[in-house]
Amino acid sequence: MQALPNSPPARSAVIEPAERFSEDVCLKARISQSARLLIDFLTENRVTEVVEFPFSHSYPRNCCESVSIIFSYLLEDKYGLPDITIIRGTKPRLQEHHFWVRAAGSLYDLTAHQFPERRPILGVERHALFASFPEHRDIHVHGFVDREEVLALHRAGAIPF
């Protein structure tokens, strides 16, 4: 027997996608807010040196890989997301690389403002900056930024997120 349009099974089938969409939008907003807090911290960290990583003194320049690693560690810890990926984009003729993060289906680049007339990129599906690096590869090895140090500093309140 088919459910009537106002019966509970029919209503939940209609409401569920809207609730999922609302949850996704809310998660993206929370991640973007966490990213803004981290960007502010990284800007101050150039002087305070609370956490040292390659090129931390020159943030946002030359540290896109390190910052992407830090961001991914914090995302995994705070939000428990299973699908966080660091992406390395390459301009093959120039052998130029840039790194950003895909999390919860959106892209985040906390160092995009190292390029002229750019701002950090938070929670987008695609962006012209990423397209300018035509070769994309997922990176799975994050060895040169200490995960435990980053998470300990975050849990102690030293790294806001």
pLDDT score recorded for residue 11: 47
CA distance 41 to 160: 7
CA 158 to chain CA centroid, Å, is 19
* Confidence (pLDDT) at 22: 80
Give the pLDDT band of residue 141 (cuts 50, 70, 90): confident
With respect to residue 116, please indicate whether it lies within any of the assigned structural domains.
Answer: yes
Q: The sheet that has 85-91: what strands, in order across it?
A: 121-124, 106-109, 96-103, 85-91, 135-139
Please check the confidence at residue 9 and state whether its pLDDT lies above 70: no
Q: Is residue 9 part of a domain?
A: no
Q: Is residue 71 part of a domain?
A: yes
Is position 24 within any domain? no
Task: Kindly state whether residue 47 falls inside one of the protein's structural domains.
Answer: yes
pLDDT higher than 60, residue 8:
no
Would 5 be classed as within a structural domain? no
> What is the spatial distance between Cα 35 and Cα 100, in angstroms, rounded to a whole number?
12
pLDDT in tens, 75-131: 999 999 989 999 999 999 999 999 999 999 999 999 999 999 999 999 999 999 999
Total domains in the chain come to 1
pLDDT top residue among 117 and 143: 117
pLDDT band at 21 (very low <50, low <70, confident <90, very high): confident
Residue 2 is classified by DSSP as: P
**1 within domain boundaries:** no
Q: Tell me, yes or no, whether 16 lies in a domain.
A: no
pLDDT in tens, 39-70: 999 999 999 999 999 999 999 999 999 999 99
Domain of residue 141 covers 29-155
- The predicted pLDDT at position 14 comes to 52
